[in-house]
Chain A
């Protein structure tokens, strides 16, 4: 295993057409003077980078005079990233834009399965850009709802075009679809906050899941996508949990979007942290519990038509 500090962080950006992804990428490339970015997109011509900033360009790669690069995603993502690592060693952050992909899951899973990506990169977060202004028109689109449910960060764009009440309603709605995501409000896709080092896929340093964890599952406005949350102080049997979660992920993989947990496994000195996307699952010991600290299990499953009773009884069957 390589030193994790040498791995290039990767951010995946998704969102519906017209939500503002391209503007966001343009903003990140042009206004960022700190990090050397490599942006992977369908067609870099669409990002509209000012030609004065372009150093050189070929079919596949456009180099900017601030050290950033743009790559066209022709075929294999692994090959493109290998090319970036070999030929653009100064790259400090990779951003992948998923235009045309309703389901960001295959990209996320690649970072857990492909050996080169595991060795050389670390997935940081998935950011979904949401068009606040047209939200009511698109909120029932299955692919929009899926992109929202996968997100670590939801960029609520075009907030200058809606009022505070509408913003609040959208946030409440989105929170039910995805209680794990952080919200950032933007106008013209220009966030004031830094979108890097979110740690959405890095549970090794996590002490808890999220303070907004305590949403009631009774408020189920969502027709298809739902979130199931579990919080208790039981001790979980490691062998039973291992068997249950793998079986559950295997049988329900298609409907499981993202799931994360920090649990007290076998009353060991360290937390056990796990996360998954569809059937792909990762789990390992995390941060140590403090002496005298109350050990609380916190688990969230987000997916399609998840059975609240099945999940809770399955998890509870693993208690010691």
Chain B
């Protein structure tokens, strides 16, 4: 029984094509920005902006699209970049933010990510 939404959401997203990276069964975030993006998605879903199943289906579609356009050994693969792109899409589609707010919001996340990569 899932009394906590966070555990329920994780159960939905795990165990299939959309499974997030884990080490020894625990979620693995290489960067702070990916952890932020993860928490943001869970919280927005918890508040009812979208269902986690919908998020999962978008992740599967987007991952497939990436795989179709990249070779298997492509080292540019980053699960949470896919996650952010899905989150951006849903935030816009569900009118959580308008288009310019979405762009500026995610620019902050991406800038944060770039800063870390450049360090």
Report A's interface with B, CB cutoff 8 A. Answer: 1-4, 238-239, 241-242, 245-246, 265-266, 268-270, 272, 274, 281-285, 287-288
Nearest-CB residue, chain A, relative to B3? A238
B53, CB-defined interface residue at 8 Å: yes
B16, CB-defined interface residue at 8 Å: yes
Which candidate, B7-15, B62-70, B77-85, is the interface stretch facing chain A? B7-15
A242 touching B1 in the complex, CB below 8 Å, given contacts A1-B16, A2-B16, A284-B8: yes
Please give the distance in Å from A81's CB to the nearest CB on chain B: 21
- Contact call B11/A283, Cβ cutoff below 8 A: no
B36, CB-defined interface residue at 8 Å: no
By a CB distance below 8 angstroms, the chain B residues around A283 are 1-3
What CA separation (Å) do A1 and B47 show in the bound complex? Answer: 22
Instruction: Please pick, from A3, A241, A288, the residue contacting B3 in the complex, using a CB distance under 8 A.
Output: A241
- Contact call B11/A1, Cβ cutoff below 8 A: yes
- Contact call B5/A268, Cβ cutoff below 8 A: yes
A284 touching B47 in the complex, CB below 8 Å, given contacts A2-B16, A4-B53: no
Give the dominant DSSP class at A's interface: mixed
- Contact call B47/A269, Cβ cutoff below 8 A: yes
Please give the distance in Å from B43's CB to the nearest CB on chain A: 9
- Contact call B16/A288, Cβ cutoff below 8 A: no
Count of B interface residues, CB-CB < 8 Å: 16
What CA separation (Å) do A2 and B15 show in the bound complex? Answer: 9
By a CB distance below 8 angstroms, the chain B residues around A266 are 3
B25, CB-defined interface residue at 8 Å: no
6 contacts between A and B (CB under 8 A): A2-B16, A241-B3, A242-B3, A246-B1, A270-B5, A285-B5
What CA separation (Å) do A270 and B57 show in the bound complex? Answer: 21
By a CB distance below 8 angstroms, the chain A residues around B47 are 269, 288
What CA separation (Å) do A268 and B2 show in the bound complex? Answer: 13
Please give the distance in Å from B61's CB to the nearest CB on chain A: 11
What CA separation (Å) do A238 and B15 show in the bound complex? Answer: 26
What CA separation (Å) do A268 and B7 show in the bound complex? Answer: 14
Instruction: Kindly list the 9 A-B residue pairs having the minimum CB-CB distance in the complex, ordered from nearest.
Output: A288-B48, A283-B1, A238-B3, A284-B2, A285-B5, A269-B47, A242-B3, A285-B8, A284-B8
By a CB distance below 8 angstroms, the chain A residues around B3 are 238-239, 241-242, 265-266, 272, 283
